[in-house]
Structure formats: C-alpha cells, structure tokens
A and B are shown apart, each in its own frame.
Chain A
C-alpha cells in the first residue's frame, strides 16, 4: 500500500514480519514511543497506530482484534477494553466521534517491518 517515497519520512526498522501474528497486532517500542503494528494478512496489508487507547488511556491497542467495517471494508482495530473501534487508515474512532489515534506509514521489505516517522 504505502508507496509514497518522500524524503520527509524517516523509516525506522521496527521488527521482523513474522514477529507479528497474522491478522493481529503486536507492540514495538520505537523512539521511546509504544506503537502497535498490525499484520492484516488476509488483505496483504500492514498498518501501524499508537498503542494507547485514548478512551481510558490504556496501552492495549496492539492486543485488539482487527477487521473491517461497512461496504468500503474500512480496516479497523477494536480496543480490547471497551471495544471502541478505530480506522487503521485515518485513526478516526468509529464508535466515538471525539476520539482519534495517530497512524504511521508502514513498509515491509525483505521480511523486515519499517515504521515511518514524519
């Protein structure tokens, strides 16, 4: 998906692709930040967001279930605490308008997963 190549993005090696379970997430620590990485194997896509669920300030999004919403099959993650769901594309919360999370670009190359920092 992410094919944008701009000099502004700083790609940082996060983990190996097989560290992240298929169709699920895992947490990496990069630049002192907790980032959730999702291996959406069913669609051959990768996503990354902040690990913190903004609803109750819990570091848990990487442990949530992922899936799709609606006709457009918007990719999403559900927080394991209270099942708020967030778009993996925009970071917008789909169940509570007031919430949103940060998303990061992801690049997978040769079995290695890179997260892009702006």
Chain B
C-alpha cells in the first residue's frame, strides 16, 4: 500500500503539534514538513524567557532525531513558494517540488506593522521570532530609552524584554484607552497600570502615533495630539496578521482582514487543504493563542484518521504573568449589568483587582477578570466551562471562604468527568482521575508522562495536583501523615498536644496519645518534640533516643564513636588546636576536618567517651551536637576582618548565630552559613539558613541543603539589619521546629508547604498568622535553657556509668573493635 502524503507548511508550535498528534495516532502517512525559519519548532509562548537566560535550545520543542525516529522529512529554512492545487503539488524556495494528497497550512502569523511613516528607520523592530529577539539584543546596548507600540499581551511581553535587555527607560504606547483591551476592563487596566509603573514602565494610553521621527535612525515618536516622545528604539507589537499569502496566491478563500477561511473540519475552500493555528479564520475569528491552535491540529488529525471531531470555536480565557503581575481573564469578562450581576474586589494597596460576572439568577458564573492574584483562575474557569451551580455566597469565589469550613461543591472533585483540565493537551478530569486510580500514578511527574497533562503552558499543574490528591483521598489512598503505628497524629498535632498537656516524658505521651509500646520511629520523634519544648538534658531519657543521641556521639563502623566538639563559625585558637591534637593522640583517634569547618575525632571506644569529653570541656570546648537532629555548624568565610572583598564581619556574626541556636533540637539537622560578600565563600545558599552581607545590611536565605537532593536556599528578606535578621531567624526556626514532619529538612518542609515561599515569607516577615511574638518567645526560652550535654554527663556519676560496653565488666572495652594503620593514622577493621 502506498501511504498518502501529507505536506505540512509551517513548523511553528501548531505545525509541530499536528505532526506529534498524527504520528501518535497513525503510521499510515508519509509526512513532509517545510519550515521558513532555520530552526525547528520552538515555544513561542515563552519567548521573552530568551532574555532571562533561556537559550534557543531551551525553548525548542523537539529535536532532529525526533523527526528521524518518526520518519518525518523536515525541510528547514526552505519556505514554500507556491501551491498548485490542480496538480496537488507544492514548490519550495530551494526548488523542490512535491506532490501531496493532503496539505496542512500552519503558516501562523506575522507581526502587524501599521502603516506609519518612518517604520523603515533603523531602531524599529517587531517582536515575533527568535531572530527578531536576536536583532533586538544586538541593538539594545546602545539604547537608553525604548518604547513598545501596543499595550496588548504581546506588547507588554515585549516591554518586559526591553527591561530584561537593560534598557533604562521603557515606554508602552497604546491606542486604546486601556491596557490589554481584549482581555481586561478599565478598572483592571488601571490596577495593572499602577503595578507596572511601580516596576518602572511608563504607560501612555489614548495615543495614536502620527509618524516616526529622525533621520536614518529613529529619534522620536510624534503623536496625533502633537506631543512628542524622544526614544532610540521602538518595538512594534500592534497585533498579528495571519500569514495567508500562499493561500491567496493559489486561490483559496481568505477573509477581508486576512486569514484562511476554514469550516468546522478545518478544511479550506479546497477539501484537500486544511489550515490550522493563527493563519486560520473560523467564523470570522482568528484564534491568536496556542491552545485553540492545538485543538485545530487535533481536529485535522481526527479527520484524516476517519474521526468525526469538529471545531466549534474555543474558549479564549487566558492567565499569564506579565512582568511579575498575574493577569487573567476568563469566560465573558465584559458582560455588564443589567445582563448580569458583577462582583468587584479591589485592594489598591496590594494591587489586586478581581471581578466576576454572575448570571442574574445568581446560579452561574459567566466570566471575570483577575489582576495581581490569579490563584483562583483555574477553578473559576472550570466553574464557567462546566456551568457549575454557584454556592449561595458567590463572592467567596474571589474572597475565599471566610470563617467556617470550606464550602462544599466548589472543590475540584465536584467537576464533571469531561471537564477539560489541560487545554493544551486536551486532557479531561476523568483521564487524570483514572490514571491515579487504575495506574497508581500519584505524582505530577508521573502524570505528565502518562497523560501529557501540564506539559504545555503548565497553567493547569496546580489543578492536576489537586485532582491527584482528591482522587487518592476518594479512593481511601490518602494516608494522613501519622508518625507511626503507635500514634495516629502528625508530628505537628502531637507537638501541640504535648505542649498543651505539659507532658515531659515519653511513657506519659504514649499513655495519653498513643498505643502499644512505641518503636524506633516514634521514640526519637517524641524525644525531639520533648526536647524542642522543654529542653531537658536528653540523656535523662536515654532509651528513647536514637543511639547517637543516647551516647552523645556518632556511631561508626565497628561500633566505635566519633567526637565533634563545637568550633563556632570555624574559628579556633592555636591552644585549642593543640588540645585536640593531644586528646586524639592519647586516645588513638583518627582526625579529619569536616565539611562544616570542624574537627572530627574518630574511633573512640564507648568507654572512653566521658574521659575524652572531660579533657575537651576542661579546655573550653562544648558538645558540637554532630550526633543530634539539631544545629550543626554555622559556616563562615573570613569576612571583612581579613578579606579585601568582605563587606561585614561574617565570622563574628556566624559565631553569634551558632552560639544562639546551639543545642536546640529540631525535626532534622540544621546547618547555617554566613558570607561576608556576594562571592559567597561560605556557601550559605546551600544551608538551611544562609546569611550574605550586602552594602546595606544582610540578605537572609532559607531552606537550602546539600546532600542527595541539593537545593538552593531562597531569599526571604533583603538588606536587613542584624537585629531584624535574628528576629526572622527565631521565627523561621521555631516555625520549622513546630510544624515539620519527623526527619524532614527545611527544604523538604518548604517543598511540601501549601503556598511555598510566599506563604513562608508572609508568616515570617509579614507575621500573617500573628505568631511572630510567640515564636520569638519560644525560641528565646530554648536559647535561655541551653546546656552542654556532655558537661552534664561528666559531672553526673550515674549518667557517666552508662558509657560502658559490658555492664558486667565496666573496664573492659569491646574486644571486637580493632584497628589497622592507614596513612600514619588508624582506621576501623571489621
């Protein structure tokens, strides 16, 4: 059988998606693709990220090998010149002629350049392709003042691009009386405008450009109101123009204002020629977004493979982040009273504007606009699209339920099965839920692999996550994060119960809130809670401690222990170094510098630990808590005292911080770092908290870690003084100690936190829970009750006695421990 040949003209996002969908459905076609651009299909939606450091490769949607694997012939940089519909052939620039059975036009659109005198001048650009961006990039360094013509979605993206390129002063010129006239109303525009002004953009509305002034190069813009704006660069983003010239040339029907006319099967006036994406004109409308383009691609694939799916228009709701400001519009955003009831919420201080339009009977959501905070977008859009009956207080939709339980019936699980969740990949709710139930997929990564949901624009990811959690819960799969079989509580719940009950020992906690006899999971978890609450000497309840905490040292291969005294900030005197050397020699300990700027002494017999510590404490050392889920070290660089780059004294600050938090027990170990300047020699951004000196003070980063899953710490506060920093750190650490799950580092804790960093920032910096003072007080009481655990042990004969290997032969050391020589030291032999 000879396979029918399909020629695709255009290798943009929609043309590529068509190929992807077709090869997924059928191998019965011979596919040939012609692209005008020199590169293969790339993500045009995220074009402005090209200036944020993303490369053309990052934006690329595919690779050459993908085309090879699927037997698709790809001709790049070779635009089709004409189409002979009678002979069913296409002819390319390089002179190739091919015969087709079906032709798919995915020629997209070009930037619409209005007919203004002077557009040919040097310094005038359009914003459409990677090549356009490269031209802009090359030109921008010479530019002080730039302007974008067009205050629509793309225009604002282009303005962001200019800011990213370092143009000092950027203007946006819009003909209409508001920004984004197709998406948002005047009040929303005003809010957006004030947000953008704060970010340094100058916005000019109601401006019609008469001509572009200057000689060879652009110098200024002259407006019809006779005002003039001096600029040295102009980016035109005044809309798109469908690429329909090929279609016109071969006599296909096109619209008066451009666009290739198609029917609901995406067929043009020639039934063997289809048009999809931004070049297609359906019922007088061009769909200038990627999701409807993908839908059109799907329709054609469906038609070619004997399906009967038809196109009935497409929802043009959008949500995007414009220069850091959320903007969304959905459903019928512009319907006004008396045809609807409109509810508006405005917070000029925070720059939030929300509007929802509700049917006059109050039952249905018709559409709306969100500026500044678009978290509710997905749910609102689903409510419109699925005609979900509104709750009695529809204002809750934008204000959030106030008081009482969250109202029923508005959660994700109440959506109908056919609710479209991922519009880019056309995945509905039923598909996601059955992937969870039938295939056991419970992660977003797994869901992306199985269904492709969330792989397009990514906007539906929060909704997909909620659906996964909701389905698991409905299946009874959802397991509450209980500590273990003995406690039906999360760590946080147990923490509060123990605190309220003022309970200070493990057996009582188990009697009150648990069952059975405990285990190796709940014992150390409760030990940590007791310690964080009451800060008693932990060895008084030694048998609920993990063996490291039980013997206040780290158990090593062979059953020996290592000893790590505290060396705050990594600063140590020569005298103390000598003592460490003497102790190591006396007890034949292997010595090594640790990653946290301390000295580790390995190979100590259990029996020797108290004597070793007695000598160390006499020399002024303290326990380093290397064995505990507690503060380990605060690493420092040498800072302004010695370093010629140092801005502040990082060593002193590190010592101060380490001394403040030493000994405090937490759900997991805590590490810190203080760097004296942005060169960051202390690697503070790899720590649970990192402090970096700035010209004006200190920056505080939180929730980083090294280890098996390295994660950089994130910026919590900028340019703060020491006092404020300690205050934030008190709150942060105490909040972590009280709410994290057992053995969860700060990074994991943050990753699981609803609302992530912005929530954490609100709690710590803005004190949104009103807990600030309490957290500081609780931390202060832990700081005040600090004690060196080893000092307590060596001074108490009963505690000291516990450090023996054989209780029936206390002086005898474990005979199974043996050493062998290694590089002038010893190592354990076992």
Contact = CB atoms under 8 A, between A and B. Distances in A.
Interface of A: 14-15, 19-30, 34, 37, 40, 42-43, 57-60, 63-70, 73, 75-76, 78, 80-81, 83, 85
Contact of A29 (B544, B559, B812): B812
A57 B830 contact: yes
Pick the 5 closest A-B CB pairs, nearest first: A24-B543, A80-B547, A67-B519, A78-B520, A68-B517
A58 B545 CA distance: 19
Interface in B757-813: 802, 805-809, 812
A64 B807 contact: no
Given A21-B542, A29-B808, A75 B816 contact: no
A19 B545 CA distance: 18
A19 B807 contact: yes
A34 B559 CA distance: 13
A70 B542 CA distance: 24
B195 interface: no
Contacts of A70: 485
Contacts of B830: 57-58
Nearest to A85: B520
Contacts of A26: 807
Contact of A42 (B507, B524, B545, B812): B507
B178 interface: no
A64 B518 contact: no
B550 interface: yes
A15 B806 CA distance: 10
Contacts of A83: 520
B816 A34 contact: yes
Given A58-B559, A80-B548, 19 more contacts: A14-B808, A24-B542, A27-B805, A29-B812, A34-B816, A42-B517, A58-B558, A58-B830, A60-B555, A63-B547, A65-B523, A65-B546, A65-B547, A66-B517, A67-B486, A68-B517, A68-B518, A76-B519, A85-B519
A28 B806 contact: yes
A76 B523 CA distance: 13
19 contacts: A21-B542, A22-B543, A24-B550, A28-B806, A34-B814, A34-B816, A40-B517, A59-B559, A63-B555, A65-B523, A65-B543, A65-B544, A67-B486, A67-B517, A68-B518, A69-B485, A76-B519, A78-B520, A80-B546
B620 interface: no
Name, among B486, B517, B518, B559, the residue most crowded by chain A CB atoms within 10 Å (CB to CB).
Answer: B517
Nearest to A24: B543
Given A15-B808, A58-B559, A63 B518 contact: no
B547 A67 contact: no
Contacts of A24: 542-543, 550
Given A21-B542, A67-B520, A15 B555 contact: no
Q: In which size bucket is the chain B interface?
A: 20 to 34
Contacts of A57: 830
Contacts of A78: 519-520
Nearest to A22: B543
B551 interface: yes
Interface in B530-556: 542-548, 550-551, 555
A64 B507 contact: no
A66 B521 CA distance: 10
B506 to A, nearest CB: 8
Name, among B524, B545, B816, the residue most crowded by chain A CB atoms within 10 Å (CB to CB).
Answer: B816
A60 B559 contact: yes
B307 interface: no
Contacts of B548: 80
A25 B666 CA distance: 26
A43 B510 CA distance: 13
B806 A73 contact: no
B516 interface: yes
A43 B517 contact: yes
A59 B814 contact: yes
Given A29-B806, A57-B830, A63-B550, A68 B516 contact: yes
Nearest to B516: A68
A34 B525 CA distance: 30
B609 to A, nearest CB: 13
Interface string B554-583: 010111000000000000000000000000
Contacts of B516: 67-68, 73
Contacts of A23: 507, 543-544
A36 to B, nearest CB: 11
Contacts of A65: 519-520, 523-524, 543-547
A65 B559 CA distance: 16
Given A42-B507, A80-B555, A64 B520 contact: yes
Contacts of B524: 65
A107 to B, nearest CB: 16
A21 B816 CA distance: 23
A22 to B, nearest CB: 7
A67 B546 CA distance: 13
A81 B547 CA distance: 9
Contacts of A58: 557-559, 830
A28 B808 contact: yes
Contact of B807 (A28, A59, A75, A85): A28
Interface string B492-534: 0000000000000001000000001111101110000000000
Contacts of B543: 21-25, 65-66
Interface string B715-745: 0000000000000000000000000000000
A67 B807 contact: no
Contacts of B559: 58-60
A75 B517 contact: yes
Nearest to A43: B517
Contacts of B814: 34, 59
Name, among B550, B557, B806, B812, the residue most crowded by chain A CB atoms within 10 Å (CB to CB).
Answer: B806
B807 A27 contact: yes
Nearest to A45: B517
Contact of B816 (A37, A59, A64, A68): A59
A108 B523 CA distance: 26
A78 B296 CA distance: 61
